Amino acid sequence: MKQNSTINNVVIVGGGSAGWMTAAALSKHLPKSINIKLVESDLISTVGVGEATIPAIRIFNQGLGIDEAEFMKETNATFKLAIKFENWARQGDSYFHAFGFYGYPVNGVPFHNYWLKQNNTIKSDSIHDYNLAHQACVANKFAYRQFNPNDEDSRYFYAFQFDATLYAQYLRKISEGRGVERIEGKVVDVLQNTQSGTIESLVLESKKTVSGDLFIDCTGFRALLIDKTLKVGYKDWSHWLPVNNAWAVSTDYPKGATIPPYTRARALSAGWQWRIPQQNRTGDGNVFCDAYISKEEALDEFLSNLEGKPISDPRLIKFRTGMREKLWSKNCVSIGLSSGFLEPLESTSIYLIQASILQLIQNFPNGEENKSNQNEFNSLMKSRYEEARNFLILHYKATEREDTKFWKYCKNMSIPDELAYRIKLFEDRGFVAGKKLDLFSEHSWLAVYFGQRIMPKAYDPRTDNLSMEQINNNLSKIKMGINNSLDKMPTHNETLKAFCPADIATPLKNS
């Protein structure tokens, strides 16, 4: 068998999270004979946000052989068990999308059906009382445990909230240690083959040229290679995800602050506000749609809702929700913001970077003409983007709010067929439809369906195989188990202090 790789030189352009995540992973997993260079310009800043993640990031870090405590110290990271949604379905509502499980299935019937049946008979406790991660968030608790199906104290997954700039720097150290060559310089021209249009080299401001066989566009919203050079189109999804601007600042913790193990997403008049706790500060921002509110009004609304004292000037970031028609075209793969952006509500961007890197490694080309890897990569990434998009749209569509034009629009907008189909299945009989490779589990969909006040009209008929008494006993047993687990759990502050205290200027005050 002939195995003759024609890819000897990979050039990554951009040194934000996407660039350095790509460099770290390729230098770990590709054959050592492949030369990897990363070009970045100190004159062009990174987007500077992207601080909340989902549990999949742990798989990425583990794949790089990263020590979790060291990584957390280096990036001022905290643990993330959930996102707290406030004012989404109705003003005054609040729920967590927690990375935990709702109860246990019985005879193959998912737990929520038993809860629904009980709720139809007597007014049950909230379904969220049966999710340990949800309750841990309410109590600001977190225990450093790995999920084990036989250990009821560990029925959750976790992610991180960190300083994205420090994460990129941390990965840079790892990448350079593995032989990645960093080239500082601004790319001012891109040279293409006159016949095929493939990219041959980059010209830097210093006149230096950098040539390669495969180019990875990690230039953020500038999309220097995939858009400005190859002119690959963009699918605009702003009719489903209308927010298009963000204000971002960092804030100080008040003295003695309790650091919550979750990100907050508070719905406002024409968008929502995030609060992402790190060990030494929080990242705050307000995402809004400028068709419904001016940027000045959005800034006022944002600043009046800030809890800490700002320690940076507010920065405005503009974006358009959607994705590239193709993430991989010719010999260029776009990863990160150059490939698309949905909006930060469910912290899916870093996951999409990770998914792109994995797909690139699995479909790494061994010949210029081999289009099958490209097609596979593009089709898988399209599915990933669409699934994340649909999950996000659910939060906006499933609202009862009509108090502003923005929410009225969201409530009444048309939605993708696949999402409409999933919602209908849940409404009709509590069935959580899913696909094999779904990013968000059945429990995530349940959290958002219930949190957004979508109540099924009926439950799975197999639920009637258990008597009401059996159901009541089962539910009380689960709740008691969760309360026991919670009693033993340390606070999030205590776990951070014991496991990964960052070397920060302001020492933590434990709650």
Ligand X SMILES: Cc1cc2nc3c(=O)[nH]c(=O)nc-3n(C[C@H](O)[C@H](O)[C@H](O)COP(=O)(O)OP(=O)(O)OC[C@H]3O[C@@H](n4cnc5c(N)ncnc54)[C@H](O)[C@@H]3O)c2cc1C
- Written as six digits, the tokens of 384 are 């990933």
Here the tokens at position 319 are 């974006």
Residues 115-154, mask of contacts with ligand X (x by CB under 6 A): ----------------------------------------
Q: Does 342 sit near ligand X (CB under 6 A)? A: no
Q: Does 486 bind ligand X (CB under 6 A)?
A: no
Stretch of 119-127, 137-145, 149-157, 333-341 lying at the interface with ligand X (CB under 6 A):
333-341
Q: Which of 28, 178, 222, 266 binds ligand X (CB under 6 A)?
A: 222
Q: Does 319 bind ligand X (CB under 6 A)?
A: yes
Which listed range, 14-22, 233-241, 372-380, 490-498, lies at the site for ligand X (CB under 6 A)?
Answer: 14-22
Cα–Cα nearest to 377, from 359, 393, 389, 395: 359
* CB-CB contact of 225 with 25 (8 Å): no
Applying CB under 6 A, which of residues 10, 12, 16, 36 lies at the interface with ligand X? 16
Number of residues that bind ligand X (CB under 6 A): 39
Active-site residue identified among 2, 37, 73, 80: 80
Segment interacting with ligand X, rule: CB under 6 A, options 13-21, 100-108, 128-136, 436-444: 13-21
Note whether 18 binds ligand X by CB under 6 A: yes
Report if residue 340 touches ligand X, rule: CB under 6 A: no
**CB neighbours of residue 443 within 10 Å:** 24
CA-to-CA dists, residue 276 to 194, 249, 503, angstroms: 47, 11, 19
- As a whole number of angstroms, the distance between CA 445 and CA 449 comes to 6
Is 80 a residue of the active site?
yes
Among 72, 164, 232, 496, binds ligand X (CB under 6 A): 164
The H or E element containing residue 40 is strand 35-40
**What does each C-alpha distance from 454 to 109, 445, 461 come to in angstroms?**
20, 11, 19
| Amino acid letter, 372 | S
Q: Which helix (H) or strand (E) holds 413?
A: none
Q: Which is nearer to ligand X, 226 or 471 (CB)?
A: 226
Q: Report the SS3 class of residue 11.
A: strand
Contact of 48 with 248, CB cutoff 8 Å: yes
How far is Cα 440 from Cα 387, in angstroms, rounded to an integer?
Answer: 9
Phi, psi of 7 (to 5 degrees): -95, 105
Instruction: Single out the segment in contact with ligand X by CB under 6 A; choices: 208-216, 218-226, 235-243, 300-308.
Output: 218-226
Binders of ligand X among 53-72, rule CB under 6 A? 53
Out of 75, 124, 219, 244, the only residue in the binding site for ligand X (CB under 6 A) is 219
Alpha helices in 147-227, H assignment, sequence order: 164-177
Taking the complex as a whole, the smallest distance from the CB of residue 167 to ligand X amounts, in Å, to 9
The DSSP bridge pattern shows strands 82-86 and 262-267 to be parallel
Q: How far is CA 69 from CA 62, 136, 262, 392, 500, in A?
A: 12, 21, 18, 31, 5
Contact flag: residue 271 with ligand X (CB under 6 A): no
The reply to whether 451 sits near ligand X by the rule CB under 6 A is: no
- Among 77, 327, 350, 423, interactor with ligand X by CB under 6 A: 350
Using CB under 6 A as the binding rule, whether residue 46 contacts ligand X is answered as: yes
Report the residue from 11, 50, 249, 496 that binds ligand X according to the rule CB under 6 A. Answer: 50
Name which position in 323, 337, 454, 482 contacts ligand X (CB under 6 A). 337
Of 36-44, 288-296, 392-400, 493-501, the window that binds ligand X (rule: CB under 6 A) is: 36-44
List the structure tokens of 448: 């958002």
In the complex, what is the shortest distance from the CB of residue 233 to ligand X, in angstroms, rounded to a whole number? 19
Question: What is the rounded distance in angstroms from the CA atom of residue 14 to the CA atom of residue 220?
Answer: 7
Active-site annotation, residues: 80
The binding site for ligand X (CB under 6 A) comprises 13-19, 39-41, 44, 46-47, 49-53, 164, 186-187, 218-220, 222, 224, 246, 248, 285, 317, 319, 336-338, 344, 347, 349-350, 353
